[in-house]
Homo-oligomer: A and B are copies of this chain.
Amino acid sequence: MDGSSPRELPARDRGHSPRDQPGLRRANLALVLRALREHGPHSRAGLSRLTGLNKATTSSLVAELEQRRLVRLGDAVPNQFGRPGHLVELRPAAVCGIGLEVNVDYLAVAVVDLPGNLVEHRRIAADVVALGQDRALDRLAELAEHGLAHVRGLAGWVSGITAAVPALVDSDNGVVRFAPNLGWRELPVVEGLARRLGLPADQLGVHNDANLSALAEYAHGVAAGSGDLLYLTGEVGVGGGVIAGGQLLRGATGFTGEVGHMPLDPTGTPCGCGRRGCWETQVGLAALLRAVGGPDDEVTDPSLDLEGRLAVVKGRAEAGDPRTLAALRQIGSALGVGASILVNVLNPTAVVLGGYFATLGEWLVEPALAELSGRVLAPERGGCALVLSDLGFTAAVRGGGYAALERVFDDPTLVPPGDSPGAGPGEGAR
């Protein structure tokens, strides 16, 4: 592998201009690959139109991408002279990124391929706080091994492994600074995984889960291709991930999208952070369950499975239970009030609701939209839609895989030609 590190998420300053001929070739290979991701399968003539490259150059680039197993020829289509040609498409299952996820009560791995398919996904229940940092990393490494073995089984090439953690993450150094709900502090996740997997650290990365979810939505979700989108996690904590101008908003030191503690009411409900009226106290999962159920209600019983409890809430809403409907209306309004702050600052095309916001979205969207429409200053909400994620609980772990794949979209020449197999991480390294 070359010196470019997979730890770096695609940030806006990544788009270095090519400065010489080999750089120009690399940039043009990337241009064709991104055009296929954005616009789907196209003939070589169509790619030439999309990219502005001439036909001879386009054909030569497609041939190189084919040799590197990044694209393949698909269905035959007649060209403008009626002679048959073939559509060029991203090759499934050949080049893959691996995502990992740590959450309070589960660990997960996902393998995604270049066209964005979820090739493999495994999720195991785990009490991560009780496990402790070391054993949690042991389990996570086992899941990574499972992903690597899966790609080996497909004779594929792995572009890297990126872990999603609900935490303040110092991605440049591969360290989780603070994950309040996991009890992790100053944990060198990249180093720990690299040691356990016997891989060089530069093939691994770690990022905030909301940021990676935003990337997954951009790459493959309901708002795919929206260059400006905001993803909101609906969990115990409320986090945000921002795509701006087609790139993850990274900020000065990688700590963007911390939206849970917006102080919206100085006399509001006390928050775990020690203050009152944070947005999380109004729209976090605990606020929902408190508003929906009394103290002895099954939905507030932490020993029961969360998805089961959400199903109960949903059932009550469908049955028209007044308390449930009132609670959802109130939470939807508060969601809209807080989101209006973010839409006024960021002017996204879409706010994508994840986690429980998506599960119960049917009842949340209308009151949220009413607040957004009233509070966003730009005409017609600045064109902003409120949409429900359909990636469910796989958004963050998929995002890890997409983050690992971004390097290939930036520089397709990282992938060795098909006649030198086993040069990828997880293969070449063992």
* Interfacial residues, chain A to chain B (CB-CB below 8 A): 11-13, 15, 17-20, 24, 27-28, 30-31, 51-53, 168, 177-178, 226-228, 240, 242, 244-247, 249-259, 261-267, 275, 337, 340-342, 344-349, 375-379, 382-384
Contacts and interface: CB of A to CB of B under 8 A. Distances in A.
A387 to B, nearest CB: 14
A51 B19 contact: yes
Nearest to A347: B251
A263 B371 CA distance: 12
Given A12-B245, A20-B53, A254-B347, 14 more contacts: A12-B12, A15-B15, A18-B24, A19-B31, A19-B51, A24-B24, A177-B379, A251-B347, A258-B344, A258-B345, A258-B376, A262-B344, A265-B265, A345-B346
25 contacts: A11-B245, A12-B246, A13-B245, A18-B18, A19-B24, A19-B52, A19-B53, A177-B378, A226-B252, A244-B249, A245-B249, A245-B250, A250-B347, A252-B349, A253-B347, A255-B378, A256-B347, A258-B344, A258-B376, A258-B377, A261-B344, A261-B375, A263-B264, A265-B265, A267-B267
A252 B19 contact: no
Contacts of A242: 345
Contacts of A12: 12, 244-247
A262 B341 contact: yes
Given A24-B24, A244-B12, A263-B375, A345 B256 contact: yes
Contacts of A28: 17, 19
Contact of A258 (B20, B245, B251, B378): B378
Nearest to A257: B345
Contacts of A262: 341, 344
A342 B3 CA distance: 34
A53 B23 CA distance: 12
Contact of A168 (B53, B228, B261, B377): B377
A25 B266 CA distance: 57
A257 B344 CA distance: 6
B19 A259 contact: no
Contacts of A265: 265-266
Nearest to A247: B12
Chain B CB within 10 Å, residue with most, of A15, A27, A257, A258: A258
A368 to B, nearest CB: 14
Nearest to A27: B17
Given A344-B259, A345-B256, A17 B15 contact: yes
A332 to B, nearest CB: 16
A345 B345 contact: yes
A12 B11 CA distance: 11
Contacts of A384: 252
A275 B341 CA distance: 14
A255 B377 CA distance: 8
Contacts of A19: 24, 27-28, 31, 51-53
A251 B255 contact: no
Contacts of A177: 378-379
B15 A168 contact: no
Contacts of A20: 53
A256 B53 CA distance: 34
A379 B168 contact: yes
A411 B178 CA distance: 44
Nearest to A350: B252
For A177, A244, A252, A337, which residue has the most chain B Cβ atoms within 10 angstroms? Answer: A252
A31 B228 CA distance: 27
A396 B229 CA distance: 28
